[in-house]
Amino acid sequence: MFPRTVLTKKKEIITITDIAWSKIKDIINNSDSKGLLFAVTSGGCNGFNYSFDSIPDNKLDDLLKLKPTIIQRDHMKVFIDPLAEMYLIGTKIDYIKEDYNKDIFESKFVFLINKDLGSQCGCGVSFTPKST
């Protein structure tokens, strides 16, 4: 008998919406950034905060030594901090635009946690991973 081959679609660690990619493109095209770093910092009302910052040229080599996961679309890159990757699995990055008619008073990136893996507070910036 021959071994059975199973084809699976590779699942991304995080997902990024089209509108978020559009904003990332604006940021990269209008700066000297080599990409954006998606990471975690301690603090906030739920224990951890999301961090999403541009990577200056002089910091890229240090980051690449850590062998981060890179999500890329065209020339745009989002680097996932390898030290925080386990906390970011399943997160969706979106971007919402100001719309006073919908009570949205600022344009910003929002981070949506996989509810099977954790919970987040109403601000959308602070989260707590579920303990296993």
**Residue 86 forms part of a structural domain:** yes
List the domain range (segments joined by +) for residue 20: 15-129
Taking the CA atoms of residue 67, residue 73, residue 75 and residue 78 in that order, the dihedral angle to the nearest 10 degrees is -40
> Residue-wise pLDDT tens for the chain (132 aa)?
444 444 444 567 899 999 999 999 999 998 888 899 999 887 766 677 888 999 888 888 888 998 999 999 988 999 999 988 888 888 899 998 877 787 777 888 988 876 565 555 655 555 556 565
**Residue 6 forms part of a structural domain:** no
**Residue 96 forms part of a structural domain:** yes
**Residue 10 forms part of a structural domain:** no
**Residue 94 forms part of a structural domain:** yes
Q: The domain spanning residue 68 has which CATH number?
A: 2.60.300.12
pTM over 0.95: no
**Residue 2 forms part of a structural domain:** no
State how many domains the chain has.
1
Q: pLDDT at position 102, please?
A: 74
